[in-house]
Amino acid sequence: MKDYFFENKKIKSVLTTWLDQEYIETSNFPLLNEVFKKEYLFILSQLKLGNKKELFINDSYFEKATYIIHKFSNNPWILQSEILDYFKINSGDLLILNDIIRSSQLFQDIILKEGIGKKYWNSIIPFAKNTDLVLNKKTSLPKRIVIFPGVSCMFFCGFCGRNQSAKYPMSSVANGTQIFKNLFEETKNNTLYSIGGGLEPTTNPQLGEIIELANKSNIRMPLITNGYSLTENFVKRNPGIWKLDSLRLSLYGVDEDSYYFITRLKKSYSMVIKNSINFLKLRNEINPKLKFGLNFIVIPENIDQVLKILNLVGEINNNVTNGRGVDFITLRDDFQSATGHEEIADEEKKKYKLHSKMDDKLREKLFKVLNEFKKIREKNFPDLHIDYGYSIFAVSRGVVSQGLNMIESERLPDYGYPQLSLAIDLYGDVFLYREAGFLERFGNKKFIIGRLNEKNNLEEIIENFLNNSSPIKYDKSDTKFMDSFDHVLGSIINQAKEDKDAQIPFDKGPILARSNLTKLNLGNNWYTDELI
């Protein structure tokens, strides 16, 4: 049933039409209705429900099941209490409906892979199983750590939350490398890592060594860089860079002017493109397995540039004369670490700052651009993988009414979620939220839960924080310390708590993988859509 369903283009297209609009009964889509009903009745016949079975054969219960599938495909955050309220049924009946949906591989695949919530599900699934650790305040090493080895940054991006006058002393580099080494040895590859900013990672002269140390602990390492210092010389002095799993270059424009507008550094565009071409040529010689991609944050000011990214990829690829060029593009939402907040202190004064936000009208415009983008990619760059951000994925399907899922600061967990995700900087400071990890960012101190040194380890820091500290007192604007991934994790924790309170915890909900995922591929998935 499952394979036939997904290979049948006609059914798939009806499914997308059904999913991409507000819920209507599947009886309006005969083709879909037939497949769904067959699957529903088959699963029902397999379950031991005694005399309850009669009730669930009823069309109205079948429709309830399709409603749940539709809702969860598009909105992974929906609560069990909301479903109960909507149907006005008792929780026993909802448990049975959940069981039916959870037992069907077809329904699971539709929810996790076919709706506009797909990109969220990719992030949720690896972490949902561990929400109990957070709710029960259990000590555990995090599933994901981003390290910030950068010493400084040469750019002044208008959507960046960094303190533009802060940088680490060069003397902190060696100690930082030792701290990262100990950390890798402590967590091994049970934790998913990435190197990002924080400040710009390539300003650390020992970056190659750090990657090599991670590699020795069998850690697959992706790097996020602005590419400005990724020169021939830097790469020569940091051969460890070839041990990266992937490199994602943050693209801030598509020509000299647009680059300058964001970075405020003259000639930054030509430098970055030159470095990219050089890096790719060497990559093809030294480690062709390393994936190279470009990341672009879509903001109102640059929607018109999205199409031009493909011209740029063409230009880079034409100059890489010895093999493969750019492997992937990630298009990302602005999570408003800086743009959504007013400056509240002199410490936050920046060279310039962007303020605008995406709205439905702008998303409509982006949808049109993405349509064209897809066509050109298909024709000219068939091997180029495109990874859409959480809400941009919905826009790419023509659903423009949903922005990025963002949690309110009063709903943030008392102790964050150090068992799931942390950020660690060059000093060894351990940050609860990823956008807090900017050196001396105003207001970030309360999110530092300890500092790694030669005498302690991360597990002790987490244990001490959970057992001996007071809950975090959040201010309204504290969401500026969270990136879009943090918003997702915060939302999962709240959902896990509320579903538990409603006596329908994740393992009794409609999604099997939230509680029963045996094999996890916690790789970065910039260059593939595969989840597990």
Nearer to ligand SF4 among residue 116 and residue 199 (C-beta): 199
Contact 413, 491 (CB under 8 A): no
- Residue 159: CB minimum distance to ligand SF4, A: 7
> Nearest Cα to 213, choosing from 176, 244, 184, 191?
184
**Nearest distance in Å: CB 152, ligand SF4:** 9
* Nearest residue to 448 via CA among 440, 67, 516, 268: 440
What would the DSSP string read from start to end of 430-443?
EESSGGG-STT-TT
Among residues 14 and 241, whose Cβ is nearest to ligand SF4? 241
Q: Alpha-carbon distance 434 to 423, whole Å? A: 5
Distance separating alpha carbons of residues 450 and 139, to the nearest angstrom: 15
Write the Ramachandran bin of 263: left for phi over 0, alpha for psi from -120 to 50, otherwise beta.
Answer: alpha
How many residues bind ligand SF4, per CB under 6 A?
10
Stretch that binds ligand SF4, among 12-20, 196-204, 406-414, 421-429 (CB under 6 A): 196-204
* 484 scored as a contact of ligand SF4 (CB under 6 A): no
Q: What is the DSSP letter of 165?
A: T
Residues 152-181 that bind ligand SF4 (CB under 6 A): 153, 155-157, 160, 162
Q: Judged by CB, which is closer to ligand SF4: 486, or 499?
A: 486
Report the chain's C-alpha Rg in angstroms.
24
Of 104 and 524, nearer to ligand SF4 (C-beta) is: 524
State which residue, 39 or 425, has the beta carbon closest to ligand SF4. 425
Nearer to ligand SF4, 479 or 494 (CB): 479
Q: Which of 200, 209, 348, 425 binds ligand SF4 (CB under 6 A)?
A: 200
Site for ligand SF4 in 138-157 (CB under 6 A): 153, 155-157
Q: Least CB distance from residue 448 to ligand SF4, whole Å?
A: 19
197: contact with ligand SF4 by CB under 6 A: yes
Does residue 265 touch ligand SF4 according to CB under 6 A? Answer: no
CB 211 within 8 A of CB 235: no
**70 binding ligand SF4? (CB under 6 A):** no
Q: What is the DSSP string of 343-410?
A: --SGGG--S--------HHHHHHHHHHHHHHHHHHHHH-TT-EEEE-HHHHHHHTT--S-------GG
Q: Which is nearer to ligand SF4, 97 or 265 (CB)?
A: 265
Q: Which residues bind ligand SF4 (CB under 6 A)?
A: 153, 155-157, 160, 162, 197, 199-200, 226
